[in-house]
Every structure is written in structure tokens, then in C-alpha cells.
Structure 1
Amino acid sequence: MSAPAAPATTAGPGTREATPSGPSTIPRTMQAVVNHGPERYALETVPVPVPGPGEALVRVEAVGICASDLKCYHGAAKFWGDESRAAWAETEVIPGHEFVGRVEQLDDEAAARWGIAVGDRVTSEQIVPCWQCAYCKRGAYWMCAPHDIYGFKRRTPGAMAQYMVFPADALVHRVPGDLPPAHAAFIEPLSCALHAVERAGIRFGDVVVVAGCGPIGLGMVAGAAATSPAAVVALDSADHKLDLARRCGATHTVNIARDDVVAAVHALTDGLGADVYLEGSGHPSAVLQGLTLLRKMGTFVEYSVFGSDVTVDWTIISDDKELDVRGAHLGPHCWPAAARMLESGRLPLADIVTHELPLSEFQRGLDLVGDGTASIKVALIPG
């Protein structure tokens, strides 16, 4: 963790004010996607950000697009159908929070704090903690009250650009250098999936059900399998995603469009129900499905982005089953493990990362994620 530092000033469309300093090989301008409001993203030429004291300039190699990027693109109010809700992201900000890049410029302070040097391949945890709020002081930095996540706030411009700056308060990790850039950028969603698995407290004899075989769900499958439970059951409506889940470690798969999921899980557990349910689909129906599948005193872990409100009978949680229902947010303390898992080749990333697009095709990337059927993981390659 870094020591607290004063926040850097910002200017322009989510970039720091350019100055003449820095190596001559670094250009003065770059291409970047800029958020001007709901469904008003544009590829623009903006100043290359200049790192301040204790910061690092990073040349972005790849940046993934996830469901929360899509939600920001549509604007929270429009996305939820409730104009009273505030937007997730500030405008005039460069989006993108799952990324990998190469260090181009940093001072001795940054090099010593993070243990990195020019040329190293690095990533930064998606949240830049303040290190001063009540949550940061108690060690829960991922719940930081200001919640400055790359690509959401003007203080923390994101990675849909050719260059970005890691602020002095950032958490920085090295990434295996031999991975293709789009595969290396998968460290962010994988760390999130592993945190959800940690929240579940899986035991060796457990039957674990994972709902959804998108990027987060496949990471959950791999993470759950690594804990060696009795069974890992993957649920999805697409057979090709279920095949990927098998390759990630699922022992059983169920196509929810064809098969009776409850009957399948009950058959596997002698009618008892699953011990753990990891929800990674973001579909409202998956919530009731999980509550129904779980045995009494089972554990439900929620980690997804929903497109609409979810209503269930909470009596199932309390009077019927006395369930443990846990949320999971970001990927705290899981980034080194995610890097090791990527390097091990445990995940079939060549088939999980289905699309690698130039930055100029960001709109196509957003549309692919929104469609949800023609892609699994979409990455932009700014270079």
C-alpha cells in the first residue's frame, strides 16, 4: 500500500495539465475515448497526461470493457429507468478501469514505493484509495468513501487512451510480461472473481454453483475449483460458454435454457441443495434461482451489475433457510493470486478474450458487450 498523498490536480477531459517536462519520445497528444454524457462518448485527441511527484506515466497496452462500463455509457438514470438516480460516472472523463501497460516515466519516489522501473509491465487496482477515510483507516481500502475508480471520476482518468497516469495513492502490481496484452488485462476481472470466491468461504465438501459464464463467472469457476470443493456446477444458456466453464474447472454444467436447474442440483446433492451460490450473471432471475437452489444455512454471494431492480421474497433468506447473503466488491488482496493464475495457463484466455479491437472501434466494443451473445471478453488495444 502507498502512503497517503495529496490528490493530483486535473484539467481537460480527464487528463492532467500537460507541461514541457518528460522524455522527448513521449508525444504531447494522444487518442482517447472521452465521456461527454450518456451515449455521448467520442474518440478525441487530448494532451498526454504528465505525472506529478510520486506518480507514473504508463503506456496502455490493453483495456477491457465490462458491464459497468456499459452501464456508465448508458448513464445510471437511463439504465435504471429512474431519472432521480445520479449517474455513475462524471462527464469529461476517459473511461476504462481494467488494463495493463508499460511504465514510460516515473520518479525515484514512485519507483521505490511500487518497486517498478521504466519498461515494466504493470497494472493498478481499479480503485485509488484516499487512505484517510474511516474505511481506509480500518484497512478496507476497497470500500474507500470517496471511491475514486479509474474512468469514473475526473481525479482518476481511465485507460481507454494511449497513456494514463497512476496517482501516488494507487496500488500497483507487476504483470507477467509474456502474456498477450488483452490476456494480461484480464487480471482485473479475475481478481474480482477471486474475491467473490473468498467471500464464499468454500469448504472441501461443498457443492458450489456459479451462475453465469461470462468473464466474472468463468473466473469464479476457476477460483472455486482451486479450493477443491466436492463439485463446481456452472450455469448458463450458451453451450459454448459452458464448454469454457468445463475447461476452467467446472465438474458439472447445466444449460438453464433446456434443463431444470433445481432438479439437476437436487439430484447432485440428494435433494439437499447447494452449499454455495456465486451469482455472476447480472440477470434478476438468477437471484431467485440461487435462493431456491441453496440448502438451508447455505451461502449466497452476489457479484454482478444488474440492469434493473431485483425483487424477491426475503422470507426465503430468513424464516425458510437462514441463509448467509454476502456482497463482494472489487478484488482486494487478490491481484497477486490472479496474476499467478493467468501465468499458469489455467484459464483458456485465447477463447475467453473473443474480441481485440483498436481504440477507434470502442463503440463496436460497447455494442458487443451490450449484446452479450457474440462475445465473452472484449478488449481495446490503444496502440
Structure 2
Amino acid sequence: MEQHSNEKVLGKTLPATMKALVSYGKGDYRLETSFPTPQCGPDDMIIKTEACGVCAGDLKCFHGAAMFWGDDSQPQWVQPPFVPGHEFLGTIVEVGENVQDFVVGDRVTADQIVPCQECRFCKRGQYWMCQPHNIFGFQKDNNGGMAEYVRYPQTAVVHKVPETLKLESALLIEPYACSKHAVDRAQIGCEDVVVISGAGPLGLGMVTYARMKNPKTLIVLDLIENRLEKAKEFGADIVLNPKETDVVQTILDMTEGYGCDIYIEATGHPSSVTQGLSMIRKLGRFVEFSVFGEPTTVDWSIIGDRKELDILGAHLSPYCFPFVIENITNGNLKTNDIVTRYFPIEKWEEAFEYASGKYGDFKVAITF
């Protein structure tokens, strides 16, 4: 008989310890084979991890970016020792007695943020900006998906994933949800000339979703040719390589000297920011998505006195998962050939190396 109760059916069979990649500090990541398996409280769920994508943010954290580890102007945000990874999904193997909407055997994933539901932002429905800002994969109380098992606490925003959805597509749910939020911030209209700078996995998620908005012209910039080819396949009208083309002048020439209406920055490189400020029109809309590994300096008079721009940030993926899951499943959001390699957790160092893109990969994942 199929089990549909919320008893801890598999709790007795879970091992006391598990394999996990653990961060103890900048560049100090260790594979542990006897890391404690998370315990399931009355309001929790435990999942057996199916796979976990390696994000650019994971790499920047590993290499010690100040955004994570702090510097003279910002405090340390991460809380080691922690298990990294936030692009993960799995199958529920244990549920607490108070859990109502999920059962053992459900295939699930979750928003990266674990909202407190008590702060000003959470009470206003702005849970993605939760003031305590606990996130899977960066704090010891919210260990991430580079482990055999993960605990979803009571306030985690959990979503069911169709069993029919192939792993290579399911792994893109979290990244594409972030891509959707960035594009939504841009408020693309049918008369807009839109530039997306960066065609990595998240940039490509933006491309395939922005195509659904039907802008007048969708232009994608990247330094790597296979990324530009994939952007064209995913719906870009024009692709340009800044190493080969004066992209600022090209955009100005295409728009009678005005510039693009919307610029979405998705590279995390300072030059992409200054490039965008140069090619965007007056009263344009600039969306900053990326996590930077180094400070970015710009002439703020361009933003204010010269162009009166709208500068918008984009953080995480609020209310985006249901749409993304539905539209990846029905094929409206393209995912083909984005996840290019899988590595067992024992080869995490190789996975991180390939995730850098130096070998031409879009996205790599760690499996168990």
C-alpha cells in the first residue's frame, strides 16, 4: 500500500552520517564522509538530494569574495562551517508530524531564501528580502545541497517538481527563477530594445523568458561564442561579442543614437556595468543582477544628471518557482544542453573547476 501519512516512515533507515562538502573558511572546503545527517523536527522535512548545480556564487564564495566574507565596508555574511549549494532538488524521505502539504516520496525543491516570517519584509509579503536573510548553502543552520541529505525547515518555501521532468531541466528551476525575477524587474514592453549582458546559465534563462515578453529587439552580449550561439537558439534577435565589436557604438547606431531602452547586467564584471551605462538611453532602465567578485566604480553623474536612469537591483526569485516549473515542463522555457557535466561529490574540486566555464561548460552539477 502506498504511504501517504506524515509519519517518519523512513526516519529509522536514515544513516547517522552522510557525505557532505563543508566550508570552514575562504578556500577551505573539505569533503567529509561522516558529517551528521540532519535531524527532522516536527515542522521539518528531510530530502535525499538528487543533484545540486554549481553556481557562480558558489565559486565566488569559495574564492573569498567580500560579498560573502566581508571587508572594510561590509560585515561577513556567511556562517561556517556550512554545506554549500542552493541549486538542488531531491525526494522527501522524512516529514515531521506537523507537515501537512507534503509526504514521503514527493520530489521537491525550494526557494534559496529561508524567510523568518517575523520581520517587516516577511510580514509585507516581501519574503525574499527577509531581514535575517537565512539562505541555503551559506550558513551552518541552513546547510545546502552539496550533501546527501538536506533539511527543509518550517518556513522554507517548498515546491513540488513533476516526476516526469528530466534532471537536466529540473536543475535549472532555481537559476531560472532568479532569471525571471530580473527580467520582471525590467518591465519589458513590446517597443523596447533590450540588451542582456552575459549569456551564462542565468543570462540564458533571462533570454528564454525575455523572448516570451516579445520585445522589439532582444540583443545578447558575451565574450564566448558558444554562449552567443545558445542565446540565438534561445530567442535572441542579435548577438554581439564585445571582443570583436564596438558594442556601444553598434547599439547607438541601431537606435538612431539614443541607446537601448533596457540593459540587464548578468556578468558580474565591472566592465559590463560601465558598458551598459554608456549604451543605455536617457530615462532608460538598468537592472543589476550579478554578484561581483571585486568593487565596481562608475561615474554616478551618468545615472543622475546626464541620463536620469532607473537603476534596479534583482535579488533571488520571489513568487517565481511555480511559473518556472510549469513553463520548463511545458517547454516554453528552453533548457536543452545547459547542464553539460555531472560529477560525484567525491570530485567536487573538478566540478568547481569546470563550473568556471574555462572548458566551455554552461552548467555543471554534483550528484549522489
Deviation at 1:22, TM superposition (A): 4.8
For residue 49 of structure 1, the aligned residue among 38, 45, 48 is 38
For residue 169 of structure 2, the aligned residue among 159, 162, 183 is 183
Please say if 1:105 is aligned against 2:94: yes
Q: Distance in 2 between matches of 1:344 and 1:135?
A: 33
Deviation at 1:109, TM superposition (A): 2.4
Deviation at 1:35, TM superposition (A): 0.8
Q: Distance in 2 between matches of 1:38 and 1:339?
A: 34
Please say if 1:71 is aligned against 2:60: yes
TM-score relative to the length of structure 1: 0.89
Deviation at 1:80, TM superposition (A): 8.6
For residue 141 of structure 1, the aligned residue among 118, 123, 127 is 127
For residue 253 of structure 2, the aligned residue among 242, 263, 267 is 267
Q: Distance in 1 between matches of 2:164 and 2:122?
A: 34
CA contact 2:68–2:77 (8 Å) conserved in 1: no
177-186 or 343-352: which moved more? 343-352
1:187-232 alpha-carbon deviations (Å, 9 max, x no partner) = 1110001000111111111011000000111111112111111111
Please say if 1:217 is aligned against 2:203: yes
- Could you tell me which amino acid in structure 1 is paired with residue 29 of structure 2? Y
3-state secondary structure, aligned to 2:78: coil
- Could you tell me which amino acid in structure 1 is paired with residue 26 of structure 2? P
Please say if 1:313 is aligned against 2:299: yes
CA contact 1:56–1:167 (8 Å) conserved in 2: yes
1:128-181 alpha-carbon deviations (Å, 9 max, x no partner) = 000111111122110111110011112211110111110001100111222232
- Could you tell me which amino acid in structure 1 is paired with residue 47 of structure 2? V
1:76-97 alpha-carbon deviations (Å, 9 max, x no partner) = 3499995775444211111111
Q: Distance in 2 between matches of 1:185 and 1:97?
A: 10
3-state secondary structure, aligned to 2:258: coil
- Listed as ranges, the matches of 1:165-180 within 5 Å are 165-180=151-166
CA contact 1:191–1:335 (8 Å) conserved in 2: yes
CA contact 1:128–1:169 (8 Å) conserved in 2: yes
| 1:40–1:129 CA distance, 2 compared to 1 (3 A) | same
Deviation at 1:340, TM superposition (A): 1.8
1:207-258 alpha-carbon deviations (Å, 9 max, x no partner) = 1100000011111111211111111101001111011111211111111110
3-state secondary structure, aligned to 1:237: coil
- Listed as ranges, the matches of 1:1-383 within 5 Å are 22-44=10-32, 45-77=34-66, 82=71, 86-110=75-99, 112=100, 115-370=101-356, 372-381=358-367, 383=368
- Could you tell me which amino acid in structure 1 is paired with residue 280 of structure 2? L
Deviation at 1:263, TM superposition (A): 2.5
Deviation at 1:260, TM superposition (A): 1.5
Q: Distance in 2 between matches of 1:297 and 1:137?
A: 33
- Indicate the residue corresponding to 1:9 in structure 2: none
Q: Distance in 2 between matches of 1:319 and 1:84?
A: 27
1:24-46 alpha-carbon deviations (Å, 9 max, x no partner) = 43222211101111111111121
- Could you tell me which amino acid in structure 2 is paired with residue 69 of structure 1? D
CA contact 1:22–1:50 (8 Å) conserved in 2: no
Q: Distance in 2 between matches of 1:166 and 1:80?
A: 25
- Could you tell me which amino acid in structure 2 is paired with residue 31 of structure 1? K
CA contact 1:247–1:348 (8 Å) conserved in 2: no
CA contact 2:9–2:104 (8 Å) conserved in 1: no
Give the unaligned 5+ runs of structure 2: 1-7
- Could you tell me which amino acid in structure 2 is paired with residue 43 of structure 1? L
| 1:81–1:334 CA distance, 2 compared to 1 (3 A) | closer
Q: Distance in 1 between matches of 2:168 and 2:48?
A: 14
| 1:57–1:81 CA distance, 2 compared to 1 (3 A) | closer
- Identity across matched positions, percent: 45
CA contact 1:79–1:307 (8 Å) conserved in 2: no
| 1:373–1:262 CA distance, 2 compared to 1 (3 A) | farther
TM-score relative to the length of structure 2: 0.93
1:100-146 alpha-carbon deviations (Å, 9 max, x no partner) = 11111113522x2xx22211110011010001111111221101111
Q: Distance in 1 between matches of 2:223 and 2:356?
A: 16
Q: Distance in 2 between matches of 1:221 and 1:228?
A: 11
- Indicate the residue corresponding to 2:5 in structure 1: none
279-288 or 36-45: which moved more? 36-45
3-state secondary structure, aligned to 2:13: coil
Q: Distance in 1 between matches of 2:69 and 2:294?
A: 6
CA contact 1:244–1:348 (8 Å) conserved in 2: no
Q: CA RMSD of the aligned region, Å?
A: 2.0
Q: Distance in 2 between matches of 1:73 and 1:121?
A: 29
| 1:72–1:183 CA distance, 2 compared to 1 (3 A) | same
Give the unaligned 5+ runs of structure 1: 1-19
